[in-house]
Structure 1
Amino acid sequence: MIAVPGTALAAADRPSCPIPADAKSRTDEPAEGYKALKGVRLHYLPKGFTHGELVVDEHDGLTEYGYLWSDDRDDMDRKRKMLWVRVVCWPEARTLAQLKKAPLQLGTFGHAKLAKIGGRKVLTKEGDGALGPGRYAGWLQREGVIVTVMASEPLVPQLGQIIRWIKL
């Protein structure tokens, strides 16, 4: 993803969008902890992450704000730990079903199934392609605000706990 200047500022003008006005893409080593995403409370974060990346992007009428935690393993290593939590501000989002048609560039929900994970009604699917193996889930937090989570295979057993404790 490519950061666009002024992205966070435009998102901050929308009151329902929790993206901070001063958010800028960056890479962190070591990874930030549970406070990496300002405005997003992540009360449960698995241990073992060494790298982090904050991504802020704007395209197709939506704004994305997310953090990717990962460890030192190669991308192809099935034991690699990777967690991506993203908030998407998309004014057209009114129902969970609309998530299937959201103009996301990475982590789309075209063939996702409805499930209940971490006490939330979510769309979910197996991770594939650029996201790698694992489980991908997303839900409508409130009108205009979507939250997505991608957990690599080693973190899938903790996905319910991760999702349950995300608060905006």
Structure 2
Amino acid sequence: MPAAPGKAGDPRWPAFAAGYGLDPAAPTTGPDRRHAHPEGCAGKICSDPKGFIAGQVRVEPKEYAYQWMSGDDTSDKYRNLWVRIICDPSLVKLADLRKPSFDSGEFAKAEQGKVGGRTVLVKVPNKEFRAFRDVAWVERKGVVVSVTVSQPLFADLGKVVKGIQVK
């Protein structure tokens, strides 16, 4: 993903920017949502997550993603929220997310459950990535949403999932 601008007025921004090689003089309010979404696959987060220093967006032909972060990524207090919306007509049902062709993490061994009122696959964390929790669901035929949160946000995962709207 490209370098992310920071939040205007956040006193933590200069140190964060310096640590990640970003321009401390170029803060903004978060991810730039003016990027074109893949055809028939627009989505949004109901409200900007609070307490993040930087955000970025990635747009590809079949996917777009928003990511917010704050703090030192080597700290157990590191906060990271990553929402991906994947547009692929071959993804029709939850079982399709277990296939190797699904390119949003390894969900082959994921457990099915309910999060934020949605039926999702919950990825079982491995030893290397146990500080993150991943869920994914089929919003509608050909549109999948994947959410990754860091450990300090585990308790908010249901609220995040419930707050995602895909048009």
Q: Same fold (TM over 0.5)?
A: yes
2:54 is aligned with 1:48? no
Q: What secondary structure is seen at the aligned counterpart in 1 of 2:153?
A: helix
Q: Deviations over 1:98-125 (max 9, x none)?
A: 0111534452212111000000000012
Match of 2:76 in 1: 78
Q: What secondary structure is seen at the aligned counterpart in 2 of 1:28?
A: coil
Q: What secondary structure is seen at the aligned counterpart in 2 of 1:27?
A: coil
Gaps of 5+ in 2: 8-28
Show the 5 A alignment for 1:153-164.
153-164=151-162
Match of 1:28 in 2: 5
Identical residues among aligned pairs (%): 33
| Aligned-residue RMSD, C-alpha | 2.7
* Cα distance change of structure 1 residues 158 and 36 upon mapping to structure 2, 3 Å threshold: farther
Q: Deviations over 1:27-75 (max 9, x none)?
A: 33236169688732312544211111211235xxxx22101100032x2
Show the 5 A alignment for 1:1-168.
27-30=4-7, 32=30, 39-58=42-61, 63-73=62-72, 75-101=73-99, 103-128=101-126, 133-168=131-166
Q: What secondary structure is seen at the aligned counterpart in 1 of 2:71?
A: coil
Separation in 2, partners of 1:72, 1:36 = 26
Whose Rg is larger? 2
Separation in 2, partners of 1:105, 1:128 = 17
Contact 2:91 2:138 (C-alpha < 8 Å) held by counterparts: yes
Contact 1:66 1:84 (C-alpha < 8 Å) held by counterparts: yes
Separation in 2, partners of 1:52, 1:69 = 4
Contact 2:68 2:81 (C-alpha < 8 Å) held by counterparts: yes
Contact 2:106 2:123 (C-alpha < 8 Å) held by counterparts: no
Contact 2:80 2:149 (C-alpha < 8 Å) held by counterparts: yes
Between 1:123-132 and 1:63-72, the stretch displaced more is: 123-132
* Cα distance change of structure 1 residues 45 and 158 upon mapping to structure 2, 3 Å threshold: farther
Letter in 1 for 2:46: H
Q: What secondary structure is seen at the aligned counterpart in 1 of 2:95?
A: helix
Gaps of 5+ in 1: 2-24
Deviation, structure 1 residue 76: 2.2
* Cα distance change of structure 1 residues 35 and 43 upon mapping to structure 2, 3 Å threshold: farther
